[in-house]
Amino acid sequence: MEKKSLVKKITGSREALLAIILLILFAVVTVISPSFLTPRSLMDMLKNNAVTMVMALGMLCVMLIGGIDISIMSTLALSGMSIGMLLKYEKISSPLLAFLIAIAIGVACGFLVGLVISRADVPPIIATMGFMYVFRAMGYLVSNGGEWAGAAALGTFKDFATTKLLGINCVIWVIIVCYVFFFWFMKWTRTGRKIYAVGSNPSAAEVSGINVKNIKLLVYMIMGLLAGLGGALQVSIYASAMPDMQQGGEMDVIAACVIGGVSMSGGRGSVIGALFGSLILATIAKALPLVGIDALAQNTIKGVLILVVVVVNVVLQRVADRNALKGREM
């Protein structure tokens, strides 16, 4: 009975299943390329996927209320390009100030998106599609029509991505801090519980006294904040700021959440799931080139993986709902 109970617990937990999948991926990739499972290789993988991993937390919040945001990489480009030009023309020199400016721009973009969605009741996909073009155009305007900032123009800001603290790269510390904070925020705060409540049943949440409009505005501001942070990280990691950076990258962020078991209809998902989804995506991105698979095939495999995961999630949820219904009837 104990063995059956343990198996049920493992197979009934999306996070446990994702952990098993991740371990299997690690084992397969290590067999193909033994150098993969080394501290340096793993640190590089995390660093190169830091933007997606951090922004997946914002997308988690947005998807938990049944929303979507495809403007995030345009927000990233606008915030990253803005600090890139400020650094290039020596308007600022402090890396901390650059990060704060990028985050502030991201929050402002998220506020505008959230305002249109929460107050004007515009469908999220339509609103964020419009802002995707607006923010990307603003990024080009900030860049003086396509100008870019290279490593030499960024000064000490680019050093953030190569600096270590206690033997760990500062970019990875950002990932750790973000996930620890959001794990606490979503699990132990009233606001986190309100986000889940709005996603599960907006009408019931409204009746219970939750201001649904304010929660919707908040999650898009959180998404904007993390997009701004992602813009600063992008510029530092790749030591360049360009108006077209991360174009199309929003799909990876959404994919990380979907793979992590976040429901597109809202109300279901976790920080741990988003973490595992991001790590699985990062592992696949690193593994496929090792076996000689080109970029086009990589995207095809990624698309198939997302479709499979979505179907599995739907099936698992239907089984869970059916079991819950049977439990109530008994």
Of the ranges 10-14, 113-117, 154-158, 225-229, which one carries the lowest mean pLDDT score? 10-14
The answer to which of 56-70, 268-282, 312-326 has the lowest mean pLDDT is: 312-326
Burial of 127 (0-12, 13-18, 19+ CB in 10 A): buried
How confident is residue 190, by pLDDT bands cut at 50, 70 and 90? Answer: very high
At 11, is the pLDDT very low, low, confident or very high (cuts 50, 70, 90)? very low
Is pLDDT above 90 for 214? yes
Q: Residue 191: is its pLDDT beyond 90?
A: yes
Q: Name the pLDDT band for 8 (thresholds 50, 70, 90).
A: very low
Q: Among 131-135, 269-273, 281-285, where is mean pLDDT lowest? A: 281-285
**Positive/negative CA dihedral, 35, 41, 42, 45:** negative
Lowest mean pLDDT among 91-105, 183-197, 229-243, 279-293: 279-293
pLDDT of 246 strictly over 70: yes
**pLDDT score, position 2:** 45
Percent of the chain whose pLDDT exceeds 70: 89
Task: Compare 241 and 78 and report the one with higher pLDDT.
Answer: 78
- Angle CA 304–252–242, to nearest 5: 135
Confidence of residue 35 (pLDDT cuts 50, 70, 90): confident
Average pLDDT score, the chain: 86
Environment class of residue 25 by beta-carbon count within 10 Å: exposed (0-12), middle (13-18) or buried (19+)?
middle
Question: What integer is the mean pLDDT of 250-269?
Answer: 87
d(CA 126, CA 64): 18
| Average pLDDT estimate for 204-221 | 93
With a pLDDT cut of 90, the percent of the chain lying above it is 46
pLDDT at 14: 74
Question: For residues 324 and 109, what is the distance between their CA atoms, to the nearest angstrom?
Answer: 41
Rank 17-31, 83-97, 138-152 by mean pLDDT and report only the highest: 83-97
For residue 10, pLDDT beyond 70: no
Residue 27, pLDDT above cutoff 60: yes
Which residue would you say has higher pLDDT here, 273 or 241? 273
Q: What confidence score (pLDDT) does residue 264 get? A: 81
Task: Label residue 211 by pLDDT band (50, 70, 90).
Answer: very high
Query: Per DSSP, what are the bridge partners of residue 241?
Result: 149
Q: What is the pLDDT of residue 100?
A: 96
What is the Cα Rg of the chain in Å? 20
The candidate with the shortest Cα–Cα distance to 255, out of 222, 279, 277, 232, is 277
| pLDDT confidence of residue 329 | 59
- The yes-or-no verdict on residue 224 having pLDDT over 80 is yes
